[in-house]
Every structure is written in structure tokens, then in C-alpha cells.
Amino acid sequence: MPELTGEERKAAEAVFGARLPLAQRYVEHLATSGIERGLIGPREVPRLWARHVLNCAVVQEYIAEGASVADVGSGAGLPGLCLAIARPDLSLTLIEPLERRVIWLNEVVDDLGLENVTVLRSRAEQAVGEVDADYVTARAVSALVGLLDITLPILRGRGELLAIKGRSAAEEITKARKKLNKYGAREVDILTAGESLLAEPTTVVQVRL
């Protein structure tokens, strides 16, 4: 089981508060059945907290209280389950097309007793109209130019996309400019999440409709 380092513990306590034991239980799932079922590579175990769970959870600082969030291509629950644990006030829909991942997500949601999460087996394109969301989140799904087509329609003309990205964020925005105009994006920003908490803060592309 990956233990929290001193710095990681400080960050985890700040982000998860009293729900830190739930986050630890989630990390246990990732490090065991998550690897057995191919949702996470075994090499990721030492980096589960820093590179995955905390990296995702800090995005919550850009989500308004009581909001509904659709997490597209949820996979191992990154960022969807991290947000659900950190923010019990949010209502999360995890959208994932692959059955084996959906089964795993449901098992984890049940084990953690997360009442603010619904797991939907669907492609994002088919979830349009089925899911009501103020925000759409995505991580490691595709480059922004392709991601817009599978996330923005879910918002039905209002709301925000929060896409967790790496160093190529600015370049991806440039390549997606035409499509951003097509969808009527009002604002596009590159944000940093967890700046005071993480050694490597999270880069987020925010698209507002």
C-alpha cells in the first residue's frame, strides 16, 4: 500500500479533511483490484497519491458548491471519485463505456458508501441529454480538439469544461481554436490547481460556455 509522505499527508488533509480515510480506502482499491483489472499500471503504485489522486482532487477548488459534475471517460475514477470524496456537496456522474471499468467503479462506490455518485455505462456522445451537469471533467481522454466534441455537448450550451492537462495545454488550445469558436466558448483559460499544496500543481484548461 502506498503510504503518504509528510508533504502528501499535509495536502491530503487539506483537500479531504475528515474524509481522508475514504480517500485512503480508494487508494487501496487502486493499488489492488485496480491493478489486477488493468485500470492502473503497477508502476503507478508509488505515485498514486501525488500523480493521480491529489493531482485530480485539487481541481475541486474551481467547482462551485452544490454543483453537478459529469466525469467523461472516468476509467479508474480519476478525477470523478477523487472529487466525490473531497466534496460530498457535489453530485457526480461517472461516464464510462467499458463494462469491466463500470463494474469496478460500482464496487468502489458501494464499498466507500458514496451517495453522491452515479456510474453511467455509456459513451459520452450518447450521454448527451441523459445527464444534467454544470461542469464536465476529463483527464487523459484525448487532445483538447477531440475532447470538445465529447464533452461540451453534455453541457447543453451552459457550464464549464475542466480538462486536466499537462505542459501542452497552450498548444492544445491553439489547435482547438476553431472548434472552440464553433461551440461558442466565451472564455478559455489555463488554470493552476493545488498551487500551495502540491510540489507539481495541476494544470487545468477551463472552457466556459
Residue 129: how many other CB atoms lie within 10 Å: 9
- 105: domain CATH number? 3.40.50.150
Determine, yes or no, domain membership for 15.
Answer: no
CA atoms within 13 A on the CB side of 18: 1
* Greatest extent of the chain over all pairs of C-alpha atoms, in Å: 46
Determine, yes or no, domain membership for 77.
Answer: yes
Residue 182: how many other CB atoms lie within 10 Å: 12
Determine, yes or no, domain membership for 47.
Answer: no
Arithmetic mean of pLDDT over the chain: 96
Determine, yes or no, domain membership for 28.
Answer: no
* 30, 76 Cβ separation under 8 angstroms: yes
C-alpha cell at 101: 471499468
Q: What is the number of structural domains in the chain?
A: 1
Determine, yes or no, domain membership for 175.
Answer: yes
Strand, coil or helix: 194: coil
Hey, which residues does 190 pair with through a beta bridge?
205
Determine, yes or no, domain membership for 190.
Answer: yes
Rounded-to-integer distance, Cα 50 and Cα 56, Å:
9
Determine, yes or no, domain membership for 71.
Answer: yes
pLDDT interval class at 6 (50, 70, 90): confident
Backbone angles phi, psi at 176, to 5 degrees: -100, 5
C-alpha cell at 61: 477548488
pLDDT digit string, tens, across residues 78-112:
999 999 999 999 999 999 999 999 999 999 999 99
The residue type found at 155 is L
Looking at residue 142, its pLDDT comes to 86
What lies within 8 Å, CB to CB, of 170 at 6+ separation is 190
Residue span of the structural domain in which 154 resides = 58-208
Percent of the chain scoring above 90 in pLDDT: 92
pLDDT digit string, tens, across residues 107-146:
999 999 999 999 999 999 999 999 989 999 999 888 999 9
Determine, yes or no, domain membership for 95.
Answer: yes
Strand, coil or helix: 103: helix
Rounded-to-integer distance, Cα 202 and Cα 194, Å:
6
